[in-house]
Structure 1
Amino acid sequence: MKKQLLGASVVLLLSACQSNSISEPGASSSKLANASSSAVQVKQSEAQRLNILLEEYFKESMALNPIYATFVGENAYNDKFPAPISVENRAKELAFEKKYLKAINAIDAGKLEGQDLLSYKIFKQDREMSIIGSSFDDYLLPFNQMYGVHNFFATLGSGASAQPFNTAQDYYNFEQRAKGFALFMDSAIDAMREGIEKKVVLPKAIIEKVLPQLQAHMVDDVKSSVFYGPLTMLETNEQISESEKAKIIASYSKVIAGVIVPTYKKTYAFVKDEYQQHGRDSVGLSALPKGKAWYEYQIAENTTLPLTAEEIHEYGQQEVARILGEMKKVKQTVGFKGSLPEFFTFLKEDGQFYFSSEQEVVDAYEAVKTKINNRVGQLFEIFPKADYEVRPVEAFRAASSAGASYQSPAPDGSRPGIFYINTHDLKAQPKFIMETLSIHEASPGHHFQTSIQQEVEGLAKFRKFGGYTVFDEGWALYAESLGKEMGLFTDPYQWYGRLADEQLRAMRLVVDTGLHAKGWSRQQAIDFMTANSSMAASDIESEVERYISIPGQALAYKIGQRAIRDMRTKAEAALGDKFDIRKFHTQILIDGALPMPILQAKVEQWVEAQKKA
């Protein structure tokens, strides 16, 4: 049974955590204890000003991003959709960031400590980065095959996501949200037309993948629409009267037929008949206006570190070579006599490594979940309250989605976390990646990190529900490296799966920088990944197109893992016998996602405190 954060131990743990966070430079606990009452009052006043500011920011941000509000349980916005793309609305968003940067700069950081000082540093950095990011024309590319309103709106409307469908009002809320979606998609078309004029357009290969995603929702019978899902849920809903159900079915069906389906049809027609012919042959961000600076920003945004594309590319090449060497050792261990490329072919083609049905995949991952849950106590002393479920990716988005993903639980505990497995192509889900993939997406990877962050009491909401890709994905990849310490990866093929997963992340460093800084073509990236892994061809194609669509995001995994591993190595060397791996992991997780420089400073301070303990 999974251990949980419960009772008085939670209070003690969180209190200890806060005292271990970054404090005012030079302000020792003894100095604070001897401070005059007036000085203490000043500090309380400044901290109070900060926390009022952070709460105001969070509330105001909900109105700007009502979908985000729904996901974090702020249900007052469930009928709203983000404002349409326009010069006026973009100016409002920039003014919002500038207003709060000015406000945070008026806070005296020297009078803050603990969680307050952490929040100050994070908030200030976030506002500065957002303002810099506003100088790039990402609004001209409002969606792609990986991320975009056309996909997440369908997931919301399916009834299997964060949008609640419990009361009659819930249904009417989504009807109103659908009307907002239609307005937003009209504005997205206008923005993409502007993109054509400015030559900021999607690559042709990406446009080809978006079209079927739009077409999937162009149905003639509303009952065949994914958006009809919530209406099927009415049958077992005892909170709504039969007469009210009839009204909902009539009005909701009308919205599907008269608003949602026409919106997808209109967008599809625009993309196919007008936009596609202007799609670009190039794929890298550097090929666009201000592209070089844009990619440098994406590196900084996604890694939180002062790194160049060149040094990341070189590090990736080194890691790819190292991991290939480890793969050769596995080949020798299992007694395979051929070359490494032949071993890759064997792993891709031999039926023993693949599932025969979607249900078999889900059942296998449920079994791995149980195995891991029985072992995490060896390395952790804190555990999420929330559980997670294993589900296949919905059919309407499976063809262009990643092999696996994770959706965080509802903050109020009403919805568990979801570990999505893409069963669209069973050859892209080999059995030998089960242990490492489950660790990464669920426990002790994303599910641990995200759930614990949401469950920390007193954490500012912008941190509780925020994140940094380098921390989130760096932690998940670091978590994979803990498998052997937990008694997993005893099967050499499962260990190969771990190597294959790390190799994917190492190849990402090379391919992402190759595409966006070195002028690589889509095919060049595919060829590189084919030569250095046993991944399925379909998986390689979707991965490469993912990197094309979201530049820089793929860098975060390996860069974050390296940073966390370096912190552990230094802590082990500094503390020797005093080093406790469970307490180290608490320090990494208990303050939520942090930029790497801030996390490093926090861990260094913890190490110094442990030396004196």
Structure 2
Amino acid sequence: MRRAFLAVSIGLVLGITACSDDNQISKDTGSTAIGASSEMSQTSLNKEASVEQAYLALVDDFFKDYLKLEPIYATFVGVNDYNDQFGGDLTNEYLTARHDLNTSYQARVEKIDRSALSPELQLSYDMFAYDRNIALVDEIFPSRFMPMNQFYSTVINMVQLGSGESAQPFNTVEDYNNWASRLTGFIAWTKLAQERMDEGVRSKVVLPRVLVERIIPQLKALLVDDASKSMFYVPISNLPQSFSDADKAELTASYTKLINQELIPAIASLADYFESKYLPVSRASDGWWGLPNGKAWYQHLANSHTTTMMPVDEIHQIGLSEVARILSEMDKVREQVKFKGDLKAFFASLSSEPEYFFTDRQDLIDGYMTLKDQINAELPKYFNVMPKADYVVKPVESFREQSAAGASYESPAVDGSRPGVFYINTYNLKAQPKWGMTTLSLHEAAPGHHFQIAIKQELTGVPEFQRFGNYTAFEEGWALYAENLGIEMGLFKDPYQYFGKLSDEMLRAMRLVVDTGLHAKGWTREQAIQYMKDNSPMAESDIIAEVERYMAIPGQALSYKVGQLKILSLRAEAEAELGDKFDLKAFHDQILTSGSLPMAVMDLKIHHWIETQK
């Protein structure tokens, strides 16, 4: 009953949103015709102000309570009150506290009169209500039994935090003590993770064998015979010169002891657990369908990542249609460059000819820095609002480069002390073709993830949860839309660079087919790999990493295309409705200046904007 109620609640949130927004538009456009008295108007204004204050206080309370529950997240959003805490996302206490947090705030927000809020806060209300419902549905499924994968893991996160180049500050002695305390919490987590995975074994909720095989070398790469060789020793290698000799000596001694006597043994124990105990009982099935209640779980994950209620079978069909369309476009490029051979031969040429690849890792990084300047020169023509924060280009760290994605983005520090990071995986240069650079930069950096995420963090006058919340369909949909915008920006005049754009779009279209194939239709890892080989020029190493990524985080890969298609359809609708009144810069402002939005909420916002522009 609880599951059915929550599923209906999500639909009701979206349905009520639509009706309420229409009422708000009528109210805004027809208020003078009603002829209400000034006293009634003042009473209404006072009520609205009171309701808005109550809503803002509620979401502010929630954000503060959420940061207490998620101390590492607090560090990432620039709140340093909990930098000494690790948190306990696998403990029974955490699970109870998370449930209580979401149920209590769900009940509180339902008491708020949405119709008395401003249009902007109505959007915020819809986001908040949606989040609470989705979070409660999440509790139905035992994700705690699979606390690690090779793509996203607490271990990877902690190494990055300890590098001194992520969100964890290392400026004072207190900062160093805070990190040591957080590491102690992480050490306890490695033991609890094994207990949760044991529960998963008993419940038949375990990772696919190949993913376990990827995790083991990641953990072993962190094992060293001396603390000074550990990645967790980096803060000691970079002790500030301003520290006294006594402080330096004390911190060096305490960190060395912590790493040698507690941290390395804990990671060794975790690695041994995966290799000797977990690997033999890992599952043979590659998709979520192989788990208890797996198909329902996967449909929920698809809903959550796409912020839609689209059935996975429908998503699969959209993917097949998009793959066919993009293949046709690719063949036109083949004809344009007068390649002698069919499309598969063209793929083979682009994937192997030396002229299409760098031979030096730094040359690849430098090439992206040159592209950054070229793209930045065009951006003012298309955007009124641009981020204050800059971004830099860096190679993926060596310990995770073998299984990491080809590229990724890390947001800038909230206080402006650190730029965003556009990570490029330089492990296999044959997986980083020159013809794919423009579209990748547009997606990961500007005006893709860097614009959307940095602008969101820099917003003022919106609740904090909006500044730091995220919806994959919105963020990845925007980044894929940004690739498409490169055509208008004149960045794809070179047919090979345009082919790169099509190749990346093909990747996102194939994801709709492969992700649903793996998790809902019983595809094997090998079937998924072969499908991607048949329909793209991607390097085999990239294809394998992609497929294993979909196996690890089901549903996430669906969000790119679903989000892009929604943004493109809203833009086409606005252009048709507004004609000469359509302003592309203003449209981009509408998309980017409320934070990350569920698809239904974004739809309502843009339709309201269209009406006001008329």
TM-score by length of 2: 0.94
Question: Could you tell me how far 1:59 is from its partner in structure 2?
Answer: 0.7
Matching of residue 595 in structure 1 with residue 598 in structure 2 = yes
User: In structure 2, the residue corresponding to 1:24 is in which secondary structure?
Assistant: helix
Cα gap change, 1:462 to 1:471, in 2 (>3 Å): same
Matching of residue 78 in structure 1 with residue 83 in structure 2 = yes
Question: Could you tell me how far 1:84 is from its partner in structure 2?
Answer: 5.3
CA distance in 2, matches of 1:441, 1:74: 25
Match of 1:17 in 2: none
Match of 2:256 in 1: 253
Match of 1:197 among 196, 202, 225: 202
Post-superposition Cα deviations, 1:167-223, rounded to whole Å, max 9, x if no partner, equal 111111100000000111111110000000000000001000000111111111222
Post-superposition Cα deviations, 1:339-358, rounded to whole Å, max 9, x if no partner, equal 11111111111111111121
Kept after mapping to 2: 8 A contact 1:22/1:113:
no
Question: Could you tell me how far 1:430 is from its partner in structure 2?
Answer: 0.7
CA distance in 1, matches of 2:428, 2:257: 35
CA distance in 2, matches of 1:80, 1:117: 35
Match of 1:120 in 2: 125
Cα gap change, 1:211 to 1:573, in 2 (>3 Å): same
Q: Which amino acid aligns with 2:338?
A: G
Match of 1:531 in 2: 534
CA distance in 2, matches of 1:448, 1:249: 40
Match of 1:111 in 2: 116
CA distance in 2, matches of 1:499, 1:226: 39
Report sequence identity in percent. 48
Matching of residue 207 in structure 1 with residue 212 in structure 2 = yes
Kept after mapping to 2: 8 A contact 1:22/1:114:
no
Match of 2:413 in 1: 410
Match of 1:575 in 2: 578
CA distance in 2, matches of 1:480, 1:22: 33
Match of 1:136 in 2: 141
Task: Trace 1:310-349 onto structure 2 (pairs within 5 A).
Answer: 310-349=313-352
Matching of residue 438 in structure 1 with residue 438 in structure 2 = no
Match of 2:287 in 1: 284
Matching of residue 101 in structure 1 with residue 84 in structure 2 = no
Q: Which runs of 5+ in 2 are unaligned?
A: 1-20
CA distance in 1, matches of 2:103, 2:304: 18
Kept after mapping to 1: 8 A contact 2:164/2:235:
yes
User: In structure 2, the residue corresponding to 1:420 is in which secondary structure?
Assistant: strand
Matching of residue 550 in structure 1 with residue 553 in structure 2 = yes
Kept after mapping to 1: 8 A contact 2:339/2:346:
yes
Kept after mapping to 1: 8 A contact 2:127/2:598:
yes
CA distance in 2, matches of 1:184, 1:31: 57
User: In structure 2, the residue corresponding to 1:375 is in which secondary structure?
Assistant: helix
Question: Could you tell me how far 1:30 is from its partner in structure 2?
Answer: 6.4
Pairs aligned (count): 589
CA distance in 1, matches of 2:226, 2:341: 54
Question: Could you tell me how far 1:23 is from its partner in structure 2?
Answer: 8.2
Kept after mapping to 1: 8 A contact 2:69/2:94:
no
Match of 2:491 in 1: 488
Question: What RMSD, in angstroms, separates the aligned Cα atoms of the two structures?
Answer: 1.4
Kept after mapping to 1: 8 A contact 2:25/2:608:
no
Match of 2:66 in 1: 61
Kept after mapping to 2: 8 A contact 1:358/1:423:
yes
Post-superposition Cα deviations, 1:412-449, rounded to whole Å, max 9, x if no partner, equal 10111000001111111111111000000010000000
CA distance in 2, matches of 1:211, 1:249: 29
Question: Could you tell me how far 1:22 is from its partner in structure 2?
Answer: 8.8
Q: Which amino acid aligns with 1:181?
A: F
Matching of residue 560 in structure 1 with residue 539 in structure 2 = no
Q: Which amino acid aligns with 2:456?
A: Q
Post-superposition Cα deviations, 1:7-40, rounded to whole Å, max 9, x if no partner, equal xxxxxxxxxxxxxx99835321663896522221
Match of 1:470 among 468, 473, 492: 473
CA distance in 2, matches of 1:326, 1:180: 52
User: In structure 1, the residue corresponding to 2:386 is in which secondary structure?
Assistant: coil
Match of 1:4 in 2: none
User: In structure 2, the residue corresponding to 1:45 is in which secondary structure?
Assistant: helix
Post-superposition Cα deviations, 1:383-418, rounded to whole Å, max 9, x if no partner, equal 100000000000011111110000011111011100
Match of 1:393 in 2: 396
User: In structure 1, the residue corresponding to 2:211 is in which secondary structure?
Assistant: helix
Match of 2:191 among 180, 186, 211: 186
Question: Could you tell me how far 1:567 is from its partner in structure 2?
Answer: 0.2
User: In structure 2, the residue corresponding to 1:42 is in which secondary structure?
Assistant: helix
Kept after mapping to 2: 8 A contact 1:23/1:117:
no
User: In structure 2, the residue corresponding to 1:256 is in which secondary structure?
Assistant: helix
Matching of residue 455 in structure 1 with residue 429 in structure 2 = no
TM-score by length of 1: 0.94
More displaced stretch, 423-432 vs 245-254: 245-254
Question: Could you tell me how far 1:363 is from its partner in structure 2?
Answer: 0.2
Question: Could you tell me how far 1:290 is from its partner in structure 2?
Answer: 1.0
